[in-house]
A and B are shown apart, each in its own frame.
Chain A
Amino acid sequence: MSADRVISVRGLSLWYGAFRALDRVDLAVVPGEILSMIGPSGCGKSTLLRCFNRMNDQPYVRTEGDLEVAGYDIMAPKTDVLALRRDVGMVFQRPNPLPLSIRDNVLFGVRLHASRTPKSEQEGLMQDALEQVLLWDQVKDRLHDDAETLSLEARQKLCIARLLPLKPKVLLMDEPCSALDPNGIGAVEELMGSLRGKYTQVVVTHNMQQARRISDRCVFMLMGELVELGATVDVFTRPKDERTARYIEGRYG
C-alpha cells in the first residue's frame, strides 16, 4: 500500500448469487479525505462500502478482484477480520447503540480489542472520544444512563464515538443521517467535518446535497458500475459522464 491511499480497489466485482452487484470497480481513497458515494437505490454503493470491512461475508456472495483497506488484503481468506474491523469502523443507517450504558458503549471496542487497558486510561479514552463527537458536555453527568435514553442525533454521534477509542484509520458511514431530522443532520455533518483529516471517511448517501456539502471527492455509481470519480465540485458542476449529469439534474434516481 502506498502512503497516498488508504483504500485501494482494483477490478472488484461482486455477485449476490447470479446477480452482479459490482462490476469491475476501481477506486483509490486518500487518507484523511471525506469521500461520498452517490447513486440511485441498488447501484451498489452500500455493497461496495460493506466490502471494505467484509460485512458481505455470506455464503451466497462471490467476489473477484483486489481490495486493500488500511493495509489489509481484504480478499485473502487468512485476513484477520476482527483486527480489520477494529481499524475500519462502520456507522449504520439507523443509530444502533448497544443496549448498554453510554459509557459502556464507548468502551465496548476497547474491551473487545484491548481489554488490558488500565481503568484510568479507559476513562481518558472515553472522554476523548465523546469530546471528539461533541457529545461530552451533554452526557458527562449521565454516563451510566442507558444509551437508548439519548436523542436519535446523540445516539448516532455515540455510534461514531464508540469507534474512536480504537484509533481507526477509516470510518465507513452507510447513510448516517437518513434517520435524523434536519437539526440532527446538520449536527452530524458538522461532526464529520470536524473529523476530516483525522480519519478517512467514506460516506454513502442518498442525499446529493449532503454529498455536495460534506465531501472532498465524490463517486457516482450506477448499476454496479463506478461511473465517475472526482472532486465533489467537479462532479456536481462539470460532470464528465452524461449519466452523472442526468442523475445530478434529477432526471432519474
Chain B
Amino acid sequence: METVTRRRPPAHTRYVEFVIEGLIRLSGISSIVFILAIFVFIGKEGIGFLAGHFVEMLTSMDWSPTAEPPVFGLVALLVGTLWCVGLSLLISVPVGLAAAVYLSEFASERTRESLKIIIELLAAIPSVVWGFIGVMILNPLLQDMGAQVGLNGLNGAIVLALMTLPLLVSLGEDALRAVPESYRQAAVAMGATKWEMVRRVLLPAAQRGLLVAVLLGVGRCVGETMAVLMVTGHAVRIPHGLFDPVRTITATIAAELGEAVRGGQHYQSLFALGILLFAVTFVVNLTADFTLRGRRER
C-alpha cells in the first residue's frame, strides 16, 4: 500500500524560492540603505563646514559665498523657504481640502471620476513647466496688481500651491473616503445636514489622514527647486511684503552647485544647506508624529 507523504517541492523550485525571497527582502530594506547612504554622502561633505560655521549660518542675514571674505548666513534663505511654503499652504490647504470634501461627498460618481483624471494630469506637469507658468503668466499679472517685480515670494507661493494641490486633493479624498459609511449614516439619521455631517463627523474622523496629506504637501513645497528657482526673484533678503522677492534654500543649492569649486568652502557650504534642509523636513515630520500620538493618547 502506498503511504501518503507530504509533498516536497523539487530542488530547483526550492532554489528559485530562496532567491526570490532574498530579492524581496533586499527590496524591503533598500529604502533604509538609500536613506543611510544619502545621510552619509551629504554628511561627509557638509558636516565639517556646518560645525565650523554654525553660529555664523544661524545669525548672519547675508549669503555671499564668493565675496572676500565670504559670508554664509542662512537666515534669509531659511526665511525665504518658510515664507514661500507658508504662503502656499495658506492657499493650497483650504482649496485642496474643500476640493477633497467636494469630490468625496458632494460630487456625483461621474463628476468625481472625470475630475480625478484632470487632477492626476495636473500632478503630472513637470515643475519646470510650472516655472514657465509663473514667469509667463503670473509675472505680468502680479505686476498689474502693483508688484514692482513679478518674480517674487507670492509668485513662488502660488506656483507651489498649484503644484501641491493635486497631492492634497487626492490624498485628502482618500482620507475622507476611508471614513466608514456607518459614521455618515449615524449623523444623517440624527438629522445632520450634509455640511454638518462633514464638519462634525467626517473632518474629525479623517483628521489623521488629512494631516498626513498636508504634511506631504509641506515636504513637497520645502523640497521643490526648479519652479521656485525660476519665479521667486532669487534675492537673498528677508521679505517684508507679499511682493518682495526671496530665495529658497533649494534654489540656492541648485543655482550655485555648478559653479562652486569641488571640495572648496562654497561647495561644502551648499552641502551644509542640504543637511539643514534635511533637518527642516525631519522636524516637520517629527512634530506631526508627536501631534498624532498626542491625539491618540488623549
Contact = CB atoms under 8 A, between A and B. Distances in A.
A82 interface: yes
Contacts of A108: 187, 190, 200
A112 interface: yes
Interface residues of A, number: 26
Interface in B153-206: 180, 182-183, 185-193, 196, 200-201, 204-205
Nearest to A53: B189
A83 B191 contact: yes
B196 A99 contact: no
Contacts, number: 58
Contact of B191 (A86, A97, A144): A86
A92 B204 contact: no
A163 interface: yes
B204 A113 contact: no
B11 to A, nearest CB: 51
Nearest to A100: B204
Contact of A96 (B183, B196, B200, B298): B183
Contact of B204 (A90, A96, A99): A99
Contact of A84 (B180, B191, B193): B191
B192 A112 contact: yes
Interface string B189-226: 11111001000110011000000000000000000000
Given A100-B204, A111-B200, A162 B190 contact: yes
Nearest to B191: A85
Contact of A55 (B180, B188, B200): B188
B190 A109 contact: yes
In this complex, which of B180, B188, B189, B196 has the most chain A Cβ atoms within 10 angstroms of its Cβ? B189
Contact of A85 (B180, B190, B200, B204): B190
B189 A98 contact: no
A226 interface: no
Interface string A101-120: 00000001101110000000
B196 A112 contact: yes
B186 A112 contact: no
A86 B196 CA distance: 14
A83 B192 CA distance: 10
Nearest to B206: A99
Interface string A50-86: 0001010000000000000000000000000111111
B182 A92 contact: yes
B180 to A, nearest CB: 8
Contacts of B182: 92, 94, 96
A98 B191 contact: no
A150 B93 CA distance: 34
Contacts of B298: 144
A112 B185 contact: no
Contacts of B201: 98-100
Nearest to B296: A146
Given A53-B189, A98-B183, 10 more contacts: A55-B185, A55-B188, A83-B191, A86-B191, A92-B182, A92-B186, A92-B189, A98-B186, A99-B183, A112-B191
Interface of B: 180, 182-183, 185-193, 196, 200-201, 204-205, 298
Shortest 4 CB-CB distances between A and B: which pairs?
A85-B191, A96-B182, A90-B189, A82-B191
16 contacts: A82-B192, A84-B191, A85-B191, A90-B189, A92-B186, A92-B189, A96-B182, A96-B186, A97-B186, A98-B186, A99-B183, A99-B201, A108-B187, A108-B200, A112-B191, A113-B191
